[in-house]
Structure 1
Amino acid sequence: MTTNQPVPDGSDVDPQATQGQQRRISRRAVLKAAGIGGGAFVIAGAAGVGIRGGINGVWNQGQGEPYELWHSRQDTDGLVRLVAAGTLAANPHNIQPWSFVVDRDSIDLYADPGRIMPVNDSDGRERIAGYGCAIHNIILAARSEGRDAEVTPWPDGDPDHIARIEIAAGAPATEREQKLAQAISTRHSNRGPYAARAVGQDMLDSLVDDAPDGAELVWITEPAALSELADLYVEATQAIVDDEEVSIEAFSWFRNDRAEIDRHRDGLTLDCQGLDGFTLFMAKLLPAQSRRSGDAFWVKAARTTHTATARAYGIVRVEDTDDPRARLAGGRLLQHAHLAATAAGIGLQHMNQVTERIARDAALGNPDRFSARWAHATGIPAGQSLLAFRVGYPERAANPSPRRDLSDVARGR
């Protein structure tokens, strides 16, 4: 459920360069040139290009061990195969905040206390919803194999013991269950532009067919509401990047080059920012970005791409966003809709800037600048708006995000 999108560098010349040192063209310069028609060309020595290309993963994007689980989850055995499905679920900023204990006929889901974002996700709603996303993937993966999964949230009162999932024999999977389970390995957040083609109401409604109970999905499609939400999103995005503590924490989860991806196998990457192929290629050849320039690019993308090409917004509504069980249910609904959208060829991008900012302002004791306007645009009180996203038919395919190895997240009892 990522929102923040650090991308290429903001200075056209290396700020550390002194007289006589080589001046460097930055990633932002390339992006700017590409954005006005691609009229600029970068000429570099073959050795320099090769080195930077290797460091930044130009020639192996989406490949190798950090991405292997997207392709091989079905190759694992027993209940570990279901855990593999769970680890491919949506989660905030791709922090992957979970660990699993696997028994003969049960899976216990635990929080990983070292994987939190107390500033960006100040009330913890997105992290707990991410656990709901993982649970839903596990349930669907089990159903695709003709097994049932019974979930007991917080089975022993330990706040870090999120759920026990007991697996038993069940009825054969339906065609719908099979299709959703197949989408687990191809579901990615699509942050690129969406085509002008509208997503019909019948199609939107179909994304929640057979969805789990406990939360409701409300669609925002009226042009006036879309415009009002666009303004809110851009303003909230700017407020987020102006909050230095928030910006610093978010940037700490951005993986600048292939070495960082291989080391951490989590977080946000250039590959997942929805850039066109040429811009992505050139950006990865050039020096890494600064936090401030990444923030500026995100604000611009929110204005010119994300809100400008959103064909509808989905709001996950619950009775009380402070209720942990409602958060789990909302996460399950979100994951269900994302898998159904993937199966239908629809792009989906999580966009939680407004609700994040409402929670952050509340934590700081600041005036509430967004709740009333959010309710006016969506018809949903902020206290019932758990998560939000945009949808549309994507102009380009989304790339996978890195995932940790199963040995790092799962163990036997």
Structure 2
Amino acid sequence: MSKRTVKKTMAVILSCIGALLVIAFASLLIISGIFESPKYWEPWQKTYSQKFDDPRIRLIAHGILSANGHNMQPWKIRLDKEDPMVFYLYADSDRLTNEVDPFARQMMITQGAFLEYVNIAGDELGYQIAVELFPEGGYNEQKLPESMKTKPVAKIMLTKDKPRNNPLYDSMFLPDTNRAAYQSTKLTSEQINQLETINADANMSIKIFQDEENVDKLGSYAMKGATIEADVNRVMQESQTIFRANEYQKNKYRYGFSVEGQGTSGIMRHLIQGLVTLFPSMNSGKAASDLFIRSTRTSVDNTPAYAMIITGDNTRSSQVKSGMLYSRLILTAHRLGFVMQPLSQVLEEYPEMKEPYSSIHRDYAAGGGAIQMLVRLGKPTKEVPQSMRRNVMDLIAGE
């Protein structure tokens, strides 16, 4: 065979390989759903709430943007049929994550996070908001899921007022969680003071740690919690069950986890989604556990500060109020140019986590209080996309 023939043959082979790569690339994009309109992002538009005439639904449309455990968005709303200025918030027990949150503490924090977003939106929309927690009494803890269906977390009452500018409002439309690496920049004493003093409840406190000893210790707790969780199959499986691999699934369910939760965006998001759809094992079993640990290690190694919310007791009301405070903390941090990420594994209450849970409470809540939130805090190195959100009407009972 002549050199000329060899060159022609190689050119044909390379051309075929190139064509196959293009086909494979295009196939991954199609499998990902690149041409699918991301309806799950519609609630993040500032104009979204304006589609609704009922002021209660407009406020609820803001509430669904709040932080929530496992992105389950476990809120159920009952509109008062007699009073057009009243609605009730219920914890949606069909969305409990029993393995990772067996006592529904995170569920209650999520309810509070929602209520504070409603409060802030009320200012901008021109309503005074009054919130009554557990207006029909507390839960029957022995029959918790059933009790959640009948006992509201809160009664929300609206009074028409003049619109007022709330400095936290614009930050509601930013992602509540950033899992990327943070800059090494420390907070100034003034910034720490601004964050710690947003709390006015004597039963709660915000504590911020950025000295080397506490940053190392809390990072160690975060890694220990992640390592334990990664080794508990039933907990990891619970998370994998609500993972949405592609645009079709995200538009269908609009809650749970997806690849952009790790900060993946642009064309890379679609490539990874296509691969995970074709090869689900990439996001299950040991592969998922290893990825979770590596991700946590990257977070811990690039964290200049941590923040905690601690309550004097662990009642349901305190859990809800800590969620309200957490929303204010996130939004205030955004205004100061900071982002956050919960590192909640070490605070979870299933049996395998008992030792580090008890240890971190001895170290940081020795007076008998409860650490409701542990988050990393810092200046971002990159922007991350918002997470999925449900259609607000899906939360309304009877709709």
Give TM-score scaled by structure 1 length.
Answer: 0.80
- Separation in structure 2 between the aligned mates of residue 248 and residue 181 of structure 1, nearest angstrom: 36
Per-residue CA deviation, residues 295-326 of structure 1 (Å, 9 max, x unaligned), is: 211101111x21111111111110112x0000
- Separation in structure 2 between the aligned mates of residue 265 and residue 144 of structure 1, nearest angstrom: 27
AA in 2 matched with 1:140: I
Partner of 2:91: 111
Shift of 1:393: 0.6
Change (3 A) 1:119 1:105: same
Partner of 2:69: 92
Partner of 1:169: 160
- Separation in structure 1 between the aligned mates of residue 25 and residue 394 of structure 2, nearest angstrom: 34
Contact 2:361–2:370 under 8 Å retained in 1? no
Change (3 A) 1:299 1:380: farther
Per-residue CA deviation, residues 18-73 of structure 1 (Å, 9 max, x unaligned), is: xxxxxxxxxxxxxxxxxxxxxxxx9953333223213324576xx62111000033
Partner of 1:180: 168
Per-residue CA deviation, residues 204-242 of structure 1 (Å, 9 max, x unaligned), is: 332355446352111111111111111121111110111
Contact 2:28–2:270 under 8 Å retained in 1? no
Return the match for 2:49 from 47, 50, 74.
74
- Separation in structure 2 between the aligned mates of residue 341 and residue 44 of structure 1, nearest angstrom: 48
- Partner of 1:391, secondary structure, is strand
Partner of 2:26: 50
Mapped pair 1:372 → 2:366 = no
- Separation in structure 1 between the aligned mates of residue 200 and residue 111 of structure 2, nearest angstrom: 15
Contact 1:58–1:285 under 8 Å retained in 2? no
- Separation in structure 1 between the aligned mates of residue 269 and residue 324 of structure 2, nearest angstrom: 32
Partner of 1:20: none
Give TM-score scaled by structure 2 length.
Answer: 0.83
Contact 2:128–2:160 under 8 Å retained in 1? yes
Shift of 1:195: 1.1
- Partner of 1:114, secondary structure, is helix
Let me know the Cα RMSD of the aligned residues. Answer: 2.5
Return the match for 2:302 from 290, 309, 314.
309
- Separation in structure 1 between the aligned mates of residue 95 and residue 178 of structure 2, nearest angstrom: 23
- Separation in structure 2 between the aligned mates of residue 300 and residue 59 of structure 1, nearest angstrom: 31
- Separation in structure 1 between the aligned mates of residue 92 and residue 128 of structure 2, nearest angstrom: 26
Equivalent residues, number: 359
Per-residue CA deviation, residues 306-362 of structure 1 (Å, 9 max, x unaligned), is: 1111111111110112x0000011000001111112233211111111111xx112x
- Partner of 2:27, secondary structure, is helix
Partner of 1:34: none
Return the match for 2:39 from 65, 90, 99.
65
Shift of 1:274: 2.2
- Separation in structure 2 between the aligned mates of residue 244 and residue 220 of structure 1, nearest angstrom: 32
Change (3 A) 1:295 1:207: same
- Separation in structure 2 between the aligned mates of residue 387 and residue 273 of structure 1, nearest angstrom: 20
AA in 1 matched with 2:194: S
Which is worse superposed, 225-234 or 329-338? Answer: 225-234
Which is worse superposed, 276-285 or 180-189? Answer: 276-285
Per-residue CA deviation, residues 151-196 of structure 1 (Å, 9 max, x unaligned), is: 11111136321110001134652x4x2x212211223310011112
Return the match for 2:383 from 389, 397, 401.
397
- Separation in structure 2 between the aligned mates of residue 386 and residue 142 of structure 1, nearest angstrom: 26
Change (3 A) 1:367 1:234: closer
AA in 1 matched with 2:228: A
Partner of 1:298: 292
- Partner of 1:260, secondary structure, is helix
Q: Identify, as 1 or 2, the structure richer in helix.
A: 2
Shift of 1:392: 0.6
Greater CA radius of gyration, 1 or 2? Answer: 2
- Partner of 1:107, secondary structure, is strand
Change (3 A) 1:202 1:57: farther
Partner of 1:284: 273
- Partner of 1:400, secondary structure, is coil
Contact 1:187–1:342 under 8 Å retained in 2? no
Partner of 1:409: 395
Partner of 2:14: none
Change (3 A) 1:310 1:350: same
Mapped pair 1:253 → 2:277 = no
- Separation in structure 2 between the aligned mates of residue 354 and residue 158 of structure 1, nearest angstrom: 27
Change (3 A) 1:74 1:182: farther
Partner of 2:133: 153
- Separation in structure 2 between the aligned mates of residue 281 and residue 408 of structure 1, nearest angstrom: 27
Contact 2:221–2:356 under 8 Å retained in 1? no
AA in 2 matched with 1:410: I
| Identity rate, percent | 21
Contact 1:120–1:246 under 8 Å retained in 2? yes
- Separation in structure 2 between the aligned mates of residue 102 and residue 117 of structure 1, nearest angstrom: 26
Change (3 A) 1:172 1:43: same
